Every structure is written in C-alpha cells, then in structure tokens.
Amino acid sequence: MNLIETLGWIATIGTLVSFAVKDMWKLRLINGAASIVWIVYGILKMDNPIIVINTSVIVMHLYWFYKNTIFNKKGTN
C-alpha cells in the first residue's frame, strides 16, 4: 500500500468515525479533519471532484461553527 492509498483509507476511517459521534461539535471537527485528509488525497491524485466536495464540506462546517459561536455568545440558540 502506497502513501496515497493510505491517505485515502485514513480519510475514509475519519469520515466514518465522525458519523458515529453524537456531539455535533465533535462530529464536525472530526469530519473537517477527515475532509482535510481527503483534500490532500485529491491533490495527490489530481482528482478535482474530491477536492471540490471536501473544500465545500469544510466551508459548511466553518459556517456552522461561526453561526453557533455567535448565537451562543448572545445567549440565544
């Protein structure tokens, strides 16, 4: 197994583990980390769809963190 394939498996496991977590913050953190590994994998494989979807996932996670942090500071949810 080469480095690229190993990264693909690590990203796969990270994605699967993230969906087993009940806490939304932890789910998004783990899934975001897995998405970063997917992006590296996509770059090494020169696979644009993998890069685009996982970049989009990270943007959605970042927006969710931003939105929830702002609302929690105001005392509303």
Q: Cα dihedral sign for 39, 40, 41, 43?
A: positive
Helix (H, G, I), strand (E, B) or coil at 54: helix
CB 30 within 8 A of CB 18: yes
pLDDT by position in tens, the chain (length 77): 899 999 999 999 999 999 999 999 999 999 999 999 999 999 999 999 999 999 999 999 999 999 998 767 655 44
Segments in 1-77 forming alpha helices (H): 3-18, 24-45, 48-74
Residue with token string 């980390």: 33
